[in-house]
Structure 1
């Protein structure tokens, strides 16, 4: 409206900052080469941060970079959630509309929380991962936009940033890995006092090697002289330079203000007071212009022209003249764009003008802002409207108006996943509650303002007035979601104290469930006491959603801590109650828990079928949180029962699913489980890579601990005991000691035994086993229990000749055997481990039994475990050599060659060394067997192993499984497994058909076949 006005206080010549510009330009060059860059620019107010960024951005744009600028918006004392990111994304959308639309495709409803222009905000699930999910999608959006072009995102005034903006910036700095992207943020260093919320973020970023931090210093005298010369377009008087340099102390903004003041002959009368310096030119304005500057100062970082006009109440010509005076004096600037407005040229002047306001004057101005915005909501951008209205009414000190406005703002913050701001606003609402009129509170409804964060079946929220307890419930959840768990715990404690005086067991149970989650997240306890209290509160009450939620949480807790029959019964009840009240998501969640417990109880196919069904239904219904659980738990159960290849297929699908929906912890757990299954399949390099991905993607400690265990397992198998010990310590640190669960303590003990045994510390290995067994191997922990017992038994077997291991060996072997008898063997993998553990125990006791080891080898030949098969083949070869039978030499040679080939391929150095040493002692070469011209073998073409060929020969001769077992010295169950494998490989349905195929192919031509 006023057009461009020449500003004579700003030097057209950019002074100094050569070193800082070099750093920025180097970062831009690295980004252009595909290495994302993160930069922080700090400095005191007025030192020239904005000018540096403007010069850098202009140069980057000239070189072809896309520049997106955003600034933190302050409304009174309140920051606007995600404001700088919304502004920057809006700029990117203007510059690259098609590219941004393509990058956001499929996630518009989530990304609309930051950029409303993308569409309606999603109504999806809110949880602890909500913010992280939004952050992940934002990072992916920026990476995609910057895939083919260099993009500079500059965010100014981080000292005013809301908590959500700070969290998002930290996330980007931590996780950006690809794209030609520069993310730069500025902050005012002199404002960062000891308790400023930005200080922890700066400390965190300082620890990141990928973040470059630039601190702008003040100008020296020569630079001040150049700045003054640029302002006046003439060489300044040296005495005047000395005086301005002394008073400004090299602060670029103060130099500008003093240079102008001195040119207007008021320099000599100006005191050294900062306030006087900032206000001197404001006080020379006409009264109408001073009044307008005061209005602008209280309105926020930028005030729209139409809103300013409504608040000022001046005739349009008078308002324009007042604005022209302020702009000509270079105090206010007109902001370009569709929403024309005005802001102070420098925030220091705005703060000085605002601080000069009287308390009553400030509240009156805020009231006028609020009234104008209520009368015409279109005066400000839509995404700022609710937040600004809440701030204006609150600072107007009108509780009747402020309470509903603040609650509306809290609901808007929640929709944006700005849970930190939601919590602050809800706490402000609780502050207003006691002073707000009763009729105002009676008109409020939970469904409008807290989005039913309460016991939803206690009453119909659409017709029930909002209660103070509803605010507390919403605050507790917001605190949990944004990580402010201590504040949330205090709120739940106060709420439960209030509920002692009310008859509302459902709401009390709901609060106890929240408290259970909080104490677990804080690392204070395992949360069972709180869950138990909630369970007692709902016991005997009619079915309800809260009741179903309590039972689901109890069942899940039991699945992790005390799996078994009681846990399964709790899961069954949870499913039933959820179905009765139509709580579909709770039902599906409870069914995941039930499916896991059914598999662990031994009914493998039933449990897996349930997990597969829940996966499909949750995906179809859009319950992605539950679907994420199935992508973790289903393949985990498949791996537990030895179906690793099937697990890998689901896990690979799960990584894409979790990444698409920004489920960071889910993705980390999926990567960790994928690492386990890849290890089983002998794909160790991929397993290590998957575990590293889990560490990188993990949002919380537990998935990172599980990933560290995966890396420790690979390191241990490859003979790097030091790395295994380091990863073991990292896992211990991640898991902590407050909430032990079997799926943590058993693997920790397994790795601990392996590390101790590899270093010859047999007594330490026994101690690790004793501690693990004392903690327990509950039903359903076969996967971890068998591996633990095997590690202990192998350690005893390998150390049987060490003198230090003799004392206490018998007791140790007895304890391992006793524990083995308590573990179930309902799956082939568990049966194989049972045989292996018992064989190792015999070996440790000095019993060499080739037949026993032959049975172990047979058990593993039908499983997807190449490393385990190589290990037991080595043991069998060792047993055969120990018995001294020369007639078995060919068999020993084959066993050792096969074991050595697998060990070398995997990089399993301990096994490679053991096999090589045994072969050397037996004078067996481990090179490829000499080629001999052998007759064509149809059995080999069918994929039959040598053992399966022997079994098929006896099947063809009409032998039963028991007779086959007796003749081949194996168990009937193992014989049955071999027969099943043979039928599958031949593609027949029965033993008679198998015999007919053998006859037709002439597999056993010299024998009489009976069908």
Structure 2
């Protein structure tokens, strides 16, 4: 009977294949698709992907496949992307070259075939830029062709691969691209590093997840029939199905073993099941299988030949036997071999004796050292480090592992670099002294603290490894591991005092503690400051002072923070630390703005931005693009800030500064909200919540979405976004720029739900904490929200006896808060008016100055709210003139509310009009006349007057003078008129009015006034 170890018949998987084909259709329609395919080992993931890939290729798609390499912490970073991009370049050489043009040096970190990788700044921004370039490369290549990018065996993915995949799934927005990643679900234990990524991707609506189940008995029977090329005996199917539990690979192995008479050699042990066919091979083939098992996921033919030490004929026969038995398979490129199933490789490797494993790794290393060309150049250093490490030869392994760590750092694979440095620390004591003394810091580290020694001639110290590892952990997101390393380093420095190194480690610890939300980092920074106090100026000293100044700006702004920033600038200049100087100057400028010296501070920050752009200090420029417009927003210059923020977003995206980009999106959302562009503000907030690596900028994005949801009346959504923001910000290091907006939203939600006591509790917590200098931009909205809540609750029984005390505390806070800019002066008037409304003593004279103050500002929603308040006060006074003015104000407020979808304001305006028996679409107190063309168009009386003057050729200023309104109000009227008439300009508006007969001898035909 003819047997095949793989069934030629594709069994089952109809639903899964349909899902993949639907995704392919979506990709072909220029809607990028992202899918995760999971299932236990041997369940049939690879076969499903092969079937899909074949069908996709028939439909014209380009399929590029890359697999993760299972070598461990020292595995080749980005291996599946390197392989897939190489396949993509081979399939579409011209398109790939055009898409990569100008970025070859950067992309060479992923695909070394493109040339020598660029040597430049390292850090989070370098890694982020690489991610952004990769995403844009794929989008460009997929612009004209449907591309299927398959990344197999994600359970073996290195951290850099996981981070890049997560970035692609979050940010791909264009191109005919489908990204499909597979993983073994049974390998994903509770602490597996892939588990957090899967949880994150599950929350993305754009990612579809497919889980492959085991075969049913009927499907198992069809698979066995395909393998045997005949209908199997039902009893045999029952036995195989029972023992395989429906696992497709086990079914294959059991079916072939049964036909070959190996039934008695099998046990219930999985290991025996996997090894039985290997043990049936000739001894030479088994020897080759052991070399391939230990040599890596894929092993080159020439390396196998060098290690096996067989004659060429014997080696070929051994490989033929292993391939013929479907144990090994030839790689796609035809230059190496791999196990057909990784489970078999694992079983063979586990079956090796300890000494046997060490000897095989030593032979691989020696062969590779003797002839480096045995493996691809981009894998050589990593493979050599792995072989020597597993050979347990510390003298050879230490320099090899450190060389691999350098490669990982240059490729921005910081988690892999950290793992390699941890191996180096493990090997340190076991390596001979002459090996250690030959190593230099400049050869293998970049992050060691400056200590007055020459890194090119001074021997490498164990502390240098720890310093590099701490920075790699911070950049790679492994902050808990980095914290442990700094703790161990500081313990060592207790025994060998070195103030500069100790200060450097304490400064790193401060950063890590804040990033992990384990504290505010102040104690660690204070320790670092104590250590450098009295020492000669140094780069460490300047960095500590700059960090302290930045900490004070966020936590305790004031004269001491300014002094620290000035000292940091001075020290940085003395030692030539330009980046530190620019950071400190940026902090100093922000502190000056917060202290009231607005123009000086903004000028300094603007100069820093110009300097960083001129000097290529991209990291500082990214921060300047966030901080400068933020300080402009602090004084109400939102429209100017928005222009700089848009420029900053383009810059930070270009250079891969993801956290800076996220902060810029958040600030842009604020600016767009203020200027009445709420849809764009929501989109910017979504980007802020999605783009950043760190939690806090994502929390800021969620906070903006909560603010918008509350203003639009979606209290439930506001609550969900508030919870997300709180989780991102944590509770250990809440500064005013996050704690006060969080309190404002929580207070607003409580007030909207009628929980006045909870609203007061939020206010009291904020009042007890106080408002540091510079926090007025966050304090005023909170005080206003609290005063508004008290005014709205004035008639409720829940007002309670504590109401008077709350109002007194609010009034006291209002008197103390800064009003140094027109915007905050207007908020001062508004909040005081709400406090009078809370006491029932507000009048039209209370609200008229508030409206006047906001008419001079570019904040349409705020203006609509205070107009609504003035209208209510006018209606309460009851005169005819007041009634006409109230109608006009309510119409304007309702129009803005409708445009912004601000439902609470729209409902409030409608209720007020209903109580006063007003019709907002017609003249005061009467229904709109359907025969009146102006009324049919929804024009108010005031808009009729304005339209007449527009038709007469008046400018906004002339209209304002004739109608005794402000130019800003005239502009709003003109905009509303153009919208209602459906025209784009003033001339078209006049033409439409004349065509409809709205004018008679220069006046409106109906409803004219005065």
2:28 corresponds to 1:28: no
SS in 1 for 2:957: coil
> Residue 344 of structure 2 corresponds to which residue in structure 1?
349
2:869 corresponds to 1:855: no
Alpha-carbon distance in structure 2 between the residues aligned to 1:885 and 1:705: 49
The change in CA–CA distance for 1:173 and 1:895 in structure 2 (over 3 A counts) is: closer
- Give the 5 Å matches for 1:705-716: 705-716=699-710
2:534 corresponds to 1:522: no
The change in CA–CA distance for 1:565 and 1:271 in structure 2 (over 3 A counts) is: closer
Alpha-carbon distance in structure 1 between the residues aligned to 2:253 and 2:807: 85
Alpha-carbon distance in structure 2 between the residues aligned to 1:302 and 1:13: 28
Q: Cα distance, 1:726 vs. partner?
A: 3.8
SS in 1 for 2:690: helix
2:501 corresponds to 1:507: yes
The change in CA–CA distance for 1:95 and 1:936 in structure 2 (over 3 A counts) is: closer
The count of residues paired between Structure 1 and Structure 2 equals 946
> Residue 59 of structure 2 corresponds to which residue in structure 1?
63
Q: Cα distance, 1:111 vs. partner?
A: 3.0
Q: Cα distance, 1:27 vs. partner?
A: 3.2
Alpha-carbon distance in structure 2 between the residues aligned to 1:229 and 1:878: 83
Instruction: After superposition, give the CA deviation of every residue in 1:104-138 in whole Å (9 maximum; x if it has no partner).
Output: 45544443322223343344444456555544443
2:460 corresponds to 1:446: no
Between 917-926 and 671-680, report the one with greater CA deviation: 917-926
Alpha-carbon distance in structure 1 between the residues aligned to 2:772 and 2:211: 57
Q: Cα distance, 1:444 vs. partner?
A: 0.8
- Give the 5 Å matches for 1:421-570: 421-450=416-445, 452-570=446-564
Kept in 1, the 8 Å contact 2:36–2:181? The answer is yes
Kept in 1, the 8 Å contact 2:394–2:427? The answer is yes
2:919 corresponds to 1:907: no
SS in 1 for 2:636: coil
Instruction: After superposition, give the CA deviation of every residue in 1:726-775 in whole Å (9 maximum; x if it has no partner).
Output: 43333333322211111122222323333344455544433322221111
2:362 corresponds to 1:367: yes
Instruction: After superposition, give the CA deviation of every residue in 1:512-552 in whole Å (9 maximum; x if it has no partner).
Output: 11111222222221111111111111112222111111111
> Residue 764 of structure 2 corresponds to which residue in structure 1?
770
Kept in 1, the 8 Å contact 2:123–2:412? The answer is no
The change in CA–CA distance for 1:949 and 1:806 in structure 2 (over 3 A counts) is: farther
Q: Cα distance, 1:159 vs. partner?
A: 3.1
> Residue 384 of structure 2 corresponds to which residue in structure 1?
389
Kept in 1, the 8 Å contact 2:3–2:227? The answer is no
> Residue 629 of structure 1 corresponds to which residue in structure 2?
623
The change in CA–CA distance for 1:575 and 1:106 in structure 2 (over 3 A counts) is: farther
2:102 corresponds to 1:111: no
Given candidates 691, 700, 710, the residue that maps to 2:694 is 700
> Residue 929 of structure 1 corresponds to which residue in structure 2?
941
Kept in 1, the 8 Å contact 2:960–2:966? The answer is no
Given candidates 764, 774, 780, the residue that maps to 1:780 is 774
Between 931-940 and 103-112, report the one with greater CA deviation: 931-940
SS in 2 for 1:164: helix
The change in CA–CA distance for 1:268 and 1:579 in structure 2 (over 3 A counts) is: same
The change in CA–CA distance for 1:343 and 1:533 in structure 2 (over 3 A counts) is: same
Q: CA RMSD in A?
A: 3.4
Kept in 1, the 8 Å contact 2:451–2:501? The answer is no
Alpha-carbon distance in structure 1 between the residues aligned to 2:695 and 2:627: 18
Q: Can you give the 5+ residue segments of structure 1 that lack an aligned partner in the other structure? A: 1-5, 954-1011
Alpha-carbon distance in structure 1 between the residues aligned to 2:887 and 2:276: 97
SS in 2 for 1:943: helix
> Residue 578 of structure 1 corresponds to which residue in structure 2?
572
SS in 1 for 2:497: coil
The change in CA–CA distance for 1:846 and 1:327 in structure 2 (over 3 A counts) is: closer
2:957 corresponds to 1:943: yes
2:113 corresponds to 1:80: no
Q: Cα distance, 1:282 vs. partner?
A: 4.1
Alpha-carbon distance in structure 2 between the residues aligned to 1:826 and 1:397: 68
- Give the 5 Å matches for 1:631-670: 631-670=625-664
> Residue 146 of structure 2 corresponds to which residue in structure 1?
150
Kept in 1, the 8 Å contact 2:154–2:182? The answer is yes
Alpha-carbon distance in structure 2 between the residues aligned to 1:209 and 1:317: 56
- Give the 5 Å matches for 1:733-752: 733-752=727-746
SS in 2 for 1:153: strand
SS in 2 for 1:73: coil
Kept in 2, the 8 Å contact 1:289–1:322? The answer is yes
Between 267-276 and 184-193, report the one with greater CA deviation: 267-276
Kept in 1, the 8 Å contact 2:361–2:388? The answer is yes
Kept in 2, the 8 Å contact 1:113–1:416? The answer is yes
Alpha-carbon distance in structure 2 between the residues aligned to 1:608 and 1:528: 27
> Residue 866 of structure 2 corresponds to which residue in structure 1?
872
Alpha-carbon distance in structure 2 between the residues aligned to 1:269 and 1:698: 56
Kept in 1, the 8 Å contact 2:74–2:416? The answer is no
Alpha-carbon distance in structure 2 between the residues aligned to 1:198 and 1:360: 32
SS in 2 for 1:525: coil
> Residue 822 of structure 2 corresponds to which residue in structure 1?
828
Given candidates 415, 424, 430, the residue that maps to 1:420 is 415
Alpha-carbon distance in structure 1 between the residues aligned to 2:166 and 2:332: 30
SS in 1 for 2:495: coil
Between 427-436 and 601-610, report the one with greater CA deviation: 601-610
> Residue 322 of structure 2 corresponds to which residue in structure 1?
326
Instruction: After superposition, give the CA deviation of every residue in 1:815-863 in whole Å (9 maximum; x if it has no partner).
Output: 2333233223322222222333334344444544655543333322221
Q: Can you give the 5+ residue segments of structure 2 that lack an aligned partner in the other structure? A: 923-939, 968-1010
Alpha-carbon distance in structure 1 between the residues aligned to 2:135 and 2:114: 16
Q: Cα distance, 1:423 vs. partner?
A: 1.4
SS in 1 for 2:941: coil
Kept in 2, the 8 Å contact 1:668–1:703? The answer is yes
- Give the 5 Å matches for 1:161-180: 161-180=157-176
The change in CA–CA distance for 1:32 and 1:729 in structure 2 (over 3 A counts) is: same
Kept in 2, the 8 Å contact 1:489–1:518? The answer is yes
The change in CA–CA distance for 1:745 and 1:204 in structure 2 (over 3 A counts) is: closer
The change in CA–CA distance for 1:583 and 1:261 in structure 2 (over 3 A counts) is: same
Alpha-carbon distance in structure 2 between the residues aligned to 1:264 and 1:787: 80
Alpha-carbon distance in structure 2 between the residues aligned to 1:845 and 1:277: 83
Q: What is the TM-score when the length of structure 2 is the normalising length?
A: 0.86
Alpha-carbon distance in structure 1 between the residues aligned to 2:271 and 2:765: 68
The change in CA–CA distance for 1:201 and 1:911 in structure 2 (over 3 A counts) is: closer
Alpha-carbon distance in structure 2 between the residues aligned to 1:137 and 1:154: 19
SS in 2 for 1:79: coil
> Residue 991 of structure 2 corresponds to which residue in structure 1?
none
Kept in 2, the 8 Å contact 1:156–1:186? The answer is yes
Q: Cα distance, 1:26 vs. partner?
A: 3.3
The change in CA–CA distance for 1:186 and 1:762 in structure 2 (over 3 A counts) is: closer
Given candidates 293, 301, 306, the residue that maps to 2:302 is 306
- Give the 5 Å matches for 1:886-897: 891-897=885-891
Alpha-carbon distance in structure 2 between the residues aligned to 1:936 and 1:311: 90
Between 130-139 and 454-463, report the one with greater CA deviation: 130-139
Instruction: After superposition, give the CA deviation of every residue in 1:41-85 in whole Å (9 maximum; x if it has no partner).
Output: 444444433233222211211111111111122348853322112
Kept in 2, the 8 Å contact 1:129–1:481? The answer is no
Between 527-536 and 757-766, report the one with greater CA deviation: 757-766
